[in-house]
Amino acid sequence: MTLNEDNGIGEFTVESLESPALTKAQLADLLFEQIGLNKRESKDMIDSFFDLIVRSLVNGEDVKLSSFGNFQIRTKAPRPGRNPRTGESIPIEARRVVTFHASSKLKEQIQGEVKEVE
């Protein structure tokens, strides 16, 4: 995985991921290894970044990350549901959900990766 940024930070490469997901711990390790922050600062920076996103979403604010995408809160209306095991009708209450919409730049990069593999 490679993250390219135009903001002067540079290019980050994750040589081998132990799992198919990129974790907060791996992001903190990247900051430690490639930026030079100490491990505590790296972990704190990643935690603060995600805490800020969570707080904004909980407060009903959209989060827009340039060249990446938008996280938005959507309120789903109550609706009738059904228990798949018993077939019994049950009401599903109104709830708030987070949606993510990738930016066109991210979509282009993802499509470029597919074209290279074919």
1-61 and 62-118 have identical folds: yes
What is the reported pLDDT for 19? 57
What is the reported pLDDT for 112? 85
Ordered mean pLDDT values, 10 residues apiece, the chain (118 residues): 46 55 92 89 94 96 96 96 94 96 94 63
What is the reported pLDDT for 35? 87
If 0-12 CB within 10 Å is exposed, 13-18 middle and 19+ buried, where does residue 41 land? middle
The topology under which CATH files domain 1-61 is HU Protein; Chain A (4.10.520)
What tokens does 32 get?
């430690």
What is the reported pLDDT for 17? 46
What is the reported pLDDT for 113? 63
Q: Are strands 89-92 and 2-4 parallel, antiparallel or unpaired?
A: unpaired
- One of 1.10.3720.10, 4.10.520.10, 1.10.260.30, 3.30.465.10 is the CATH number of 62-118, namely 4.10.520.10
Domain ranges within the chain, ordered by starting residue? 1-61, 62-118
